[in-house]
Structure 1
Amino acid sequence: MADARAQLDADIDALEGLPVFVAYNANVDAIVRVGEALASFLPRPADPGTEAPPTPLASTRDLATAITHTMATGVGDEVAMTDPLAATLEAELSPDSQQMGGQTGIMTNLLTALGAAPVAYTYLLSERQLSQFDHPGAVRYPRVEDGRVRLIPLAEAVDADRTKINWVFEFGAGDELFGVRATEDTRFIAASRPPEFDLVTGDLDAEIDQVGAAVEGALLAGYHNLTPDHVESGYDEALRHARDVVRRLRAGGDVDVHVEYAVTHDDALRAGIYERILPEADVVGVDAHELSMLADDAGLDVVEDRPSEEPPFEATEIVAHYRMCSALLDELDVACLRLHAMQYHLAVIDDYLSPDAVRRGLAFAAVNAASKAARGHIDSSSDLETGLTYERSAVGREAIDRLAAHVGEPTDDGALCSPTVVACPNRVVADPAGTVGIGDIVSSSSFALEQAVASERDDA
């Protein structure tokens, strides 16, 4: 424990003041625990648990279908909802709690808790949204004035009355709704899609290279927020524009770009993100469900038996995950494909940062993930001491041993660290306080520490 604590202290010190650009999606998550109150609000679906939800969700019956289906499968899901349904929920349903939501919001809050210095951009920055930032004074916002980007305090950037609200329906294994018993601790998200989320940021798009010159990495997410109703000229034009913005961002300096993937059930949008956005990244972050969807979209058939997305996890599945990641790395021509799974974290790399920097980032992410799961929230770096109290997954270590044998590389203290693949066991919390945002916590903490370690190496 003493060595782990010393390493954690060194990791936190490395992040102090690290400038990272984070965009595009932040919202307020309205949290509802599945139980009798929700059952009395929702109409019973025709066939609870078995029918896949429609997209977008247009009624409370559609919502009930989606929640029971997610409970039955044990795999967390997110589906967009129509504006009228979003309005109905906000008017008629009272959340049990609310918190920062959206990948950008969650990642920005974590970075400030860890002592980094994020530059954040999001649409619809309202007073209500501002209130969900834990340390708003540590966040800067890029505003363009006379062709120059000025990084202003976040509070000065509030410019909207409307707030993007996502509804998060959480349940634990054994919870029931309309006779359907949840098989795992997870959640279903009914996501709003305000028209402002069109991936056009006004004057900032043309000057984004100035942001690239001021930061040491970029965490980009939210591309899945596009909808046909909100993009007048179609996905292709919108995503081409977004692609060009990423290229302009990178032109400002030697900036590594991490794109955090997210599930969308819109086939055309998913195909556009795959073709236009993901190849622009240095790093693509996914969970096991998202990895499977990407492999399908790419038409990859590199494993005979696709790993089941339903629990329990089997140690043998890691080899299939590795092969899928490797194939996608080649197809997308990116430097790193990072998978955050329940029992381990895996990165397949090619001409990226040093393997040791990636290993250090994955091990740090495991501590962050356990802290988030156990506490429900990370408000300061001292909260990470909680994560250290959880042992690294024995099943994860077994899986990594299997992968090491498959690729012909040794392990060291349960981790695999080679020029082409890095893996570390996760620290698993059996009874998590919350599951929303853990993947974003993993991706942002690992990426930020990788960049900080690489910067230390470059400055040496």
Structure 2
Amino acid sequence: MSWDGLYASAFEKVRERIGKVGKVLLAYNTNIDAVHYLKSGDLEERIRRTGIDEVLKYSEELPENIKSVPQLLGSILWSVKRGKAAELFVESCPVRFYMKRWGWNELRMGGQVGIMANLLGGVYGVPVIAHVPQLSRLQAGLFKNGPIYVPKLVDGEVKLVHPREFGGEEESCLHHIYEFPRGFRVLDFEAPRENRFIGAADDYNTTLFIRDEFREYFDEIASNAELAVVSGLQALTAENYAEPFEMIRANLEVLNERNVPVHLEFAFTPDETVRKAILDLLPKFWSVGLNEVELASIMEVMGERKLAEKLLADDPVDPVAVTEAMFKLAEKTGVKRIHFHTYGYYLALTEYRGEFVRDAILFAALAAAAKAKLGDVPSINEVVEAMDVPVNKKVESVEETLVREYGMNEGMAEVNGYQLAFIPTKIVEKPKSTVGIGDTISSSAFVGEFAIRP
């Protein structure tokens, strides 16, 4: 069957059965994204006023967090130069004020939990229980209609209500998203593909603030869940990670006791100590999702520096290096499923076997293409709008390599006792936005897989 045929078949399978998935618990990060579409002339003028030499030194290596305007502008250039996403915490109040004065084009739901809640609950109709650190009216109003719930204490009992019924008045958290298209030029830099840089200007998610409802009533909340997705660990530091990790570990033990499969959505984590702690925590997860930058960062803390370099050396990313890294990660942690996504193709390495693994990532790729094409997907039926987006021809060499190395057939191969699944993605030439596409991919693939498991 052709890839278009496999895409169409996978979509129908998931659409037919996704409504049968039970509640999905989502923790821990939600915020508001202030999206700014970069303009070359404006950015260049800001760089010149700030000082080109001072800015350029941060375009080569990202700082751990942002304490100055040169670091902010240099970090944006780092993303532009590579066409890769990055997110850093903005520690400095003057820089936060600078970003607010710079402004934005629109406000959207942000944070991995917020984006996944709107997709799973608001688009697919899958009931979700979301941890929302701050429930201002502005934040609550960005949630879609649908079976999206947050825990609320009412007379000493936990009730699940839609965020708009919570009635909180806390501070709203802003993440400043600086988006650029493919071919975006500034100074001598040209973006090889569309992407964004994120300046996180909030003090909830950066310390992994966990609400009292989740701290005190997690057993009861977890009793409603059939699946769980954990995210938002990326902004923690060596100084502040210990306490939230104790709570996460305790939450995972509850979920593990209830046999709830838990997916970790990894994100670029600058702090090496936190990366090591995440690696130590991975045995408690069923699944993990990451891209080449994130996989390389994990290989680094595992002492696999040469392999980490290979993961970042080629475009498209070398699938043999990816597969080798996934094997090392699986063997070290015992995680049952690793979902790798990069520009142009996805891979899934699983302890278990079946076409449903490949079909779930096909569905995820179609959902991601629909989001890129439409900007927002109103319902699952609109996901099919991406069927006319062509399959990426540039990764034919990737498929040929996988066929040669592992005997892959129709996107599946048996390798070292695991199943390796591959798909070429559909690439939207001029996406309306790139924000949330990774979260769309990972949550659609994980939940979609459980929808169609035999």
Answer yes or no: same fold by TM over 0.5. yes
User: Secondary structure at 1:265's aligned position in 2?
Assistant: coil
Q: Say how many residue pairs are matched.
A: 440
Measured against aligned partners, the alpha-carbon deviations of 1:338-366 in whole angstroms (never above 9, x if no partner) come to 1011121111112x4x4322112111011
Stretch deviating more after TM superposition (364-373 or 141-150): 141-150
5 Å-filtered alignment, 1:289-438, equals 289-300=293-304, 303=307, 306-308=310-312, 312-313=315-316, 317-350=318-351, 352=352, 354-407=353-406, 409-412=407-410, 415-418=411-414, 419-438=418-437
Change (3 A) 1:68 1:200: same
Structure 1 residues without counterparts, runs of 5 or longer:
none
2:64 is aligned with 1:58: no
The answer to whether the 8 A contact 2:183-2:190 is kept is: yes
In the other structure, the counterpart of 2:211 is: 201
2:298 is aligned with 1:266: no
The answer to whether the 8 A contact 1:359-1:417 is kept is: no
In the other structure, the counterpart of 1:77 is: 86
Which residue identity does 1:156 align to in structure 2? Answer: E
Distance 1:410 1:221 in 2: 32
Stretch deviating more after TM superposition (139-148 or 76-85): 139-148
Which residue identity does 1:114 align to in structure 2? Answer: Y
2:453 is aligned with 1:446: no
Measured against aligned partners, the alpha-carbon deviations of 1:364-423 in whole angstroms (never above 9, x if no partner) come to 01101111122222221122122211232234344234223322x4412xx225452112
In the other structure, the counterpart of 2:102 is: 93
Structure 2 residues without counterparts, runs of 5 or longer:
none
Distance 1:53 1:302 in 2: 20
User: Which of 71, 76, 92 is matched with 1:67 structurally?
Assistant: 76
In the other structure, the counterpart of 2:139 is: 129
Stretch deviating more after TM superposition (322-331 or 432-441): 432-441
The answer to whether the 8 A contact 1:134-1:379 is kept is: no
In the other structure, the counterpart of 2:168 is: 159
Cα deviation for residue 4 of structure 1 reads 4.8
Distance 1:89 1:290 in 2: 29
The answer to whether the 8 A contact 1:219-1:257 is kept is: yes
Distance 2:264 2:399 in 1: 25
Which residue identity does 1:283 align to in structure 2? Answer: S
Distance 1:120 1:200 in 2: 12
Distance 2:6 2:442 in 1: 24
User: Secondary structure at 1:214's aligned position in 2?
Assistant: coil
The answer to whether the 8 A contact 1:67-1:169 is kept is: yes
Which residue identity does 1:11 align to in structure 2? Answer: V
Distance 1:267 1:304 in 2: 14
Distance 2:204 2:433 in 1: 29
Cα deviation for residue 30 of structure 1 reads 0.9
Distance 1:176 1:160 in 2: 41
User: Secondary structure at 1:423's aligned position in 2?
Assistant: strand
Change (3 A) 1:381 1:49: farther
In the other structure, the counterpart of 1:118 is: 128
Which residue identity does 1:437 align to in structure 2? Answer: G
Change (3 A) 1:142 1:174: same
In the other structure, the counterpart of 1:247 is: 253
Measured against aligned partners, the alpha-carbon deviations of 1:186-235 in whole angstroms (never above 9, x if no partner) come to 1111112414643433242343233333222111100123346xx6xx42
Measured against aligned partners, the alpha-carbon deviations of 1:272-328 in whole angstroms (never above 9, x if no partner) come to 22223x222110100111011111111136849713356x316xx111110111111
User: Secondary structure at 1:32's aligned position in 2?
Assistant: strand
Stretch deviating more after TM superposition (148-157 or 336-345): 148-157
Distance 1:349 1:68 in 2: 37
* TM-score under structure 2 length normalisation: 0.89
Change (3 A) 1:270 1:410: closer
Distance 1:335 1:30 in 2: 36
Change (3 A) 1:86 1:9: farther
Change (3 A) 1:215 1:95: same
Distance 2:44 2:408 in 1: 52
Distance 1:174 1:130 in 2: 36
Change (3 A) 1:274 1:210: same
User: Secondary structure at 1:159's aligned position in 2?
Assistant: coil
Which residue identity does 2:28 align to in structure 1? Answer: Y
Distance 1:101 1:280 in 2: 26
Distance 2:71 2:202 in 1: 16
Alignment RMSD: 2.5
Cα deviation for residue 29 of structure 1 reads 1.0
User: Which of 183, 194, 203 is matched with 1:185 structurally?
Assistant: 194
Distance 2:65 2:401 in 1: 41
Change (3 A) 1:173 1:215: same
Distance 1:438 1:288 in 2: 15
5 Å-filtered alignment, 1:30-41, equals 30-35=34-39, 36-41=41-46
User: Which of 11, 14, 17 is matched with 1:11 structurally?
Assistant: 14
In the other structure, the counterpart of 2:290 is: 286
Distance 2:37 2:162 in 1: 35
The answer to whether the 8 A contact 1:199-1:242 is kept is: no
The answer to whether the 8 A contact 2:66-2:88 is kept is: yes
Distance 1:268 1:405 in 2: 38
Distance 2:149 2:451 in 1: 19
User: Secondary structure at 1:16's aligned position in 2?
Assistant: helix
User: Which of 237, 245, 255 is matched with 2:243 structurally?
Assistant: 237
User: Secondary structure at 2:66's aligned position in 1?
Assistant: coil
